[in-house]
Amino acid sequence: MEDQPLKEQRIKAAVEAIGDRFLAEISVFRGETRLTLAAERLVEAAQALRDEFDFDFLTSLTASDYWPQLEPRFHVVYQLYSNAHHIRLCLRVPVNDRDPVVPTVEKIWRVANWHEREVFDMFGIRFEGHSDLRRILMPYDWEGHPLRKDYPLGYEEPQFSFNYSDIQIRKNRGRYEEA
Amino acid sequence: MSTQTEVSLDELRHLISDRALTGETVLLNMGPQHPSTHGVLRLLLELDGETVINCIPDIGFLHTGIEKNMEAKTYLKAEVMTDRMDYMNTVGNNLVYCLAIEKLAELDVPPRAQSIRVILAELKRISSHLVWLGTHALDMSAMSTFLYCFREREMILDILEMCSGQRMMTTYIRPGGLWRDTPAEFEGAVRQFLKIFPERIDQYEALLTKNPIFLDRTKKIGVISREEAVQWGLTGPTGRGSGVAYDVRKVSPYSGYEQYEFDVPVLHGGDVYARYLVRMEEMRQSLRIVQQALDKLPYGPVRSDNRKYVPPPRSELSQSMEAVIHHFKLWTEGFSLPKGAVYVPVESPRGELGCYLESDGGPKPQRAHFRTPSFVHLQALPLLAKGHLVADLVAIIGSIDIVLGDADR
């Protein structure tokens, strides 16, 4: 096990090199180092992180929706881990609402294949260059992207006394249409 | 065959070889309802005779929108949903979620709670490996192993029930510690289990490890090299069978794991048999951890004192106004976490289970994502299964130990 100062030096070296080269914003929160960078620079930064700094594991790829804020609306979050040096790093890529496209890192870490499919399925963020971008958890012909914040939760509304008549009309509508 | 119009393969066309379209190879649906797929997993197999040319997994049959639902509930109510994801490792799911909350809130956990968390997590790991062993052997027609494993698992479920009232979906681990202290019979029951279990593992090994039929069905099947395992993100026993020496308990220790001495078995065969041996040894190591944790179990409180996150005990309510206010706020609105995002990994019996928790400062999670090992390992199934027979496919699926609740969420 490496002791703390050496680990921090390694993270510092990796993060500063990447930060300078790819204009990434560096921040540390609760002991986790994170780099926020633009989508265009993602693939080169990821390649550099894997080849030069031994971040050989992509442990998690997910996204987060900040609707109703539209610029950026999403953040795609990558968690990287280096098996050789036991350090973790987080990459965040902001994505806009109008054209949510991010280049794929599937060629760099094969594990990203299904993760990116899941992000596409749940958020609608397209991954450019992905070999097999289709829905994974929802049925193949589903419309809409469930984990977006403007997608309804989809449960049945409880019929309380204040909305009794509104819901009763909806319930009766089907019945009268049958007759 | 080619004139049927109901089923269209358009969305899968790029994954299937041309031989399928001419009828040279058969496309077989190993459908979601199948006794050997360990859950609702649909595999589209392209078969040349009995050999698997390609295997396309189709998941999502158990997708219940847990992550979306968690965004609509307060943190404590959302914790109940974490049990239901990987239903074989319910304690581990609770643990990872609570660790994420505690990391984000910088909440302390008393040492007794940490030790009991470790004991329960390791017992659940043993229970999960017992189910794996029973069902894996059952898939290969070694039916007696199944019943022996479940007999031992009943002892573990009894221990969990005496702590929390529930056999599986316990939600016993709460942010700040545990729900309540363990009852007086807990230590006796765990020691009883520790006494009888080592020879039971020997009995399972006597049934399978040198069994020529088992060896025939598992050696050199589903081989994956170390480099490919790293590329495809295989962690846990699946990765350790291929030489990926990565165990979250050793690398990023949580909940006091650094004080316990245990080994992490790593083999280099990369086949089904190696993964079997790794898991058998892991059960023994888990017993070691439970023994040490139980011997060193400190006295003390089991939940943090921080009343902003932990409700006060009911006895305090009649005496303190602040306790009443905290009780009210915590049970109506729930606690709010500071704004930010954390990622906490934990070693589940399947691999690295990670919780990415993001908070916007309110009482409900802005985003709770679980990096589940079964989801990641299923990706590698086509690679593992290429060139093997359909019967070997059953052994391979068993060896990567997937739980569909984990994969689909």
Contact A57 B246 (CB under 8 A): yes
User: Which residues of chain A are within 8 Å of residue B69 when distances are taken between CB atoms?
Assistant: 153
* In the block, residue with structure tokens 């079964």: B374
The highest-confidence range among A33-47, A114-128, A151-165, by mean pLDDT, is A114-128
Angstroms from B8 CA to nearest CA on chain A: 11
Which of B189, B340, B46 is CA-nearest to residue A77? B340
Which of B328, B309, B296 is CA-nearest to residue B116? B296
Give the Cα separation of B282 and B237 in Å (integer).
8
Residue range B329-368, pLDDT digits in tens: 999 988 999 999 999 999 999 999 999 999 988 899 999 9
B/e letters for B117-142, b = 16+ CB within 10 Å, e = fewer, are bbbbbbbbbbbbbbbbbbbbbbbbeb
Nearest CA in chain B to A121: B60
Nearest neighbour of B379 by CB, restricted to A79, A111, A149: A111
pLDDT number for residue B154: 93
Residue range B250-277, pLDDT digits in tens: 988 988 899 999 999 999 888 899 999 9
Provide the pLDDT confidence category of residue B9 given band limits of 50, 70 and 90.
low
The C-alpha angle B166, B124, B335, rounded to 5 degrees, equals: 60
Helices and strands counted in chain B (H then E): 18, 8
pLDDT number for residue B183: 92
B61 in reach of chain A (CB within 8 A):
no
Q: Which residue would you say has higher pLDDT here, B20 or A133?
A: A133
Show the tokens assigned to B308: 């902003």
pLDDT number for residue A37: 87
Q: Measure the N-to-C terminal CA separation of chain A; round to a whole number of Å.
A: 75
A111 and A88 Cβ atoms separated by less than 8 Å: no
Nearest neighbour of B251 by CB, restricted to A62, A86, A135: A86
Give the Cα separation of A119 and B299 in Å (integer).
45
Contact A140 B11 (CB under 8 A): yes
Angstroms from B13 CA to nearest CA on chain A: 10
Which of B398, B395, B363, B356 is CA-nearest to residue B76? B363
Residues 6+ apart with CB under 8 A from B345: A59, B96, B248, B252, B352, B353, B354, B371
pLDDT number for residue A1: 40
Residue range B147-205, pLDDT digits in tens: 999 999 999 999 999 999 989 998 999 998 899 889 999 999 999 999 999 999 999 99
What is the overall mean pLDDT for chain B? 89
Give the Cα separation of B322 and A15 in Å (integer).
45
In this model, does residue A165 exceed pLDDT 60? yes
Q: B66: burial class by Cβ within 10 Å (0-12, 13-18, 19+)?
A: middle
Provide the pLDDT confidence category of residue B7 given band limits of 50, 70 and 90.
low
User: Which residues of chain A are within 8 Å of residue B370 when distances are taken between CB atoms?
Assistant: none
Nearest neighbour of A83 by CB, restricted to B11, B230, B366: B230
Residue range B30-50, pLDDT digits in tens: 888 888 888 889 998 888 888
Average pLDDT over residues B402-406: 89
Q: B22: burial class by Cβ within 10 Å (0-12, 13-18, 19+)?
A: exposed
Give the Cα separation of A120 and A145 in Å (integer).
8
Residue range B283-314, pLDDT digits in tens: 999 999 999 999 999 999 999 888 899 999 88
One-letter amino acid for residue B56 of the chain: I
Which of B398, B350, B397 is CA-nearest to residue B370? B350
